Amino acid sequence: MVIGILVLLFFPEPSLAAEVYSPEQLEMDLQGIQKQYGLDVQIIGQTEKGKNIKAIRLGKGKKSILLVGSHHGREWLSSILLMRMLEEYAAAYRAGKPVGEFPSESFDEVSIWFIPMLNPDGVSIQQGDLSNLNVLEKAAVWKMNRYSRNWSRWKANAKGIDLNRQYPAGWKEVMSHETKPTYQFNKGGQPLEAAEVKALTDFTKEIDPLIAVSYHTSGREIFWHYKNKRKNMARDYGIAKKTAEMTGYELTFPEKEAVGSGFTDWFITEFSRPGMTIELSYLVDETNPPLTVFPEEWKRNRLVGIMLVKEAKQLHNN
C-alpha cells in the first residue's frame, strides 16, 4: 500500500490522452481577452484550495444575465464554450457588428456575466494534475477516488463535495448513498458548505441577474422548471422553448418528484426568474466529452447568450 501511495503521489497517471482545457489555459486566455477588449474581470471568491474564481462582464447594461460553467470537474467543455462565446461577443460588441441576427448594441442595456469555471480545483484533479495539493491532500483525494488512478470521472471539488448538490432549494430532500467526501454525488453536510457555492450565491445576489444559466456536459437536454410558480411557467417555458429550438436539445417537462439542490433550482426559487441547466454533448458516462464534439456544440449554442440578452430586455421592459 505504501508503495502504491508513493507511485500515486509522485507519478500521477494522466487521466486523459487527448488535450484538455485546464484552469491555467483558461487564465491565459482570459488575460488575453481582458487585455484586448478591456473587460471588467472580478474575483468573486476562492476555491477550497485558494484558486481565484473569476467573473467577466461584457456590456454596459446595469441589468444582466449570468452564464456559469464547470460546476463539475469533468465538465470543462462548458468552460471552452463560454470562453469562445465571450471572445466572439466581445469582438462583435467592439466592432458594432451583430452576432447572427442579434445586434450587439443590446449589451448597452443588458450585460452578460460569464463565470467560465466555477470549480477549477475539480477540473485540475479530473485532468490528473495534483500539483496544487500537498502529500496528505493527494492521499485524501486518491481515497475519495476509491484508490483509482482514473481521474477522468472526477466531478467534485477538492474536498469531495458535489457542487451542484449544494444549493438550499431541495437540499434536504436529495437522497444519496454518498455521505462522505468522494468523487461524485456527495451533497455535503449542509447547503452552501462549499466555498465555491457560497461565492456563486453571494455574487448572484449581488448582480441580481434577470436570467441564469448553468452549463453542464452530458445529454443535450435543458432543465428549466424546478418547482416554478404557476404564474411564471408560461414565461419561463417560452424562453426555454426558444433555447431548445436554437440548440436542438430536448426540453424537459415538469416532474412532480423533481430532485433539487442545483444552482438553477435555487435561482428559480430564490429569484422567481427564468433559470436553465443546459447539458452539452451526447450522453457520456463518468468522464468528460471528447474535444471532437465541441464544434457541434458551439454551432448549437453560439447564439444562446445573446438571444437570452434579448429575452432579458423584454423581461425588464415588461
Convert the pLDDT of each residue in 229-239 to its tens digit. Answer: 999 999 999 99
Q: Report pLDDT for 11.
A: 39
Q: Report pLDDT for 271.
A: 97
Q: Report pLDDT for 196.
A: 98
Give yes or no for residue 208 having a pLDDT over 90: yes
Give yes or no for residue 7 having a pLDDT over 60: no
- Give pLDDT tens digits for 213-231: 999 999 999 999 998 999 9
Q: Report pLDDT for 19.
A: 86
Q: Report pLDDT for 258.
A: 62
Check if the beta carbon of residue 290 is closer than 8 Å to that of residue 18.
yes
Q: Residue 113 belongs to what H/E stretch?
A: strand 110-115
- Looking at 24, 250, 257, 279, which residue is catalytic? 279
Give yes or no for residue 15 having a pLDDT over 90: no
Q: What is the mean pLDDT of the chain?
A: 93
Active site residue 311: no
Q: Report pLDDT for 9.
A: 45
**DSSP states of 199-265 as a string?**
HHHHHHHHH--SEEEEEE-SSSEEE--TT--HHHHHHHHHHHHHHHHHHTPEEP---TT----SHHH
Q: Report pLDDT for 257.
A: 55
Q: Distance (Å, rounded) from C-alpha 250 to C-alpha 252?
A: 6
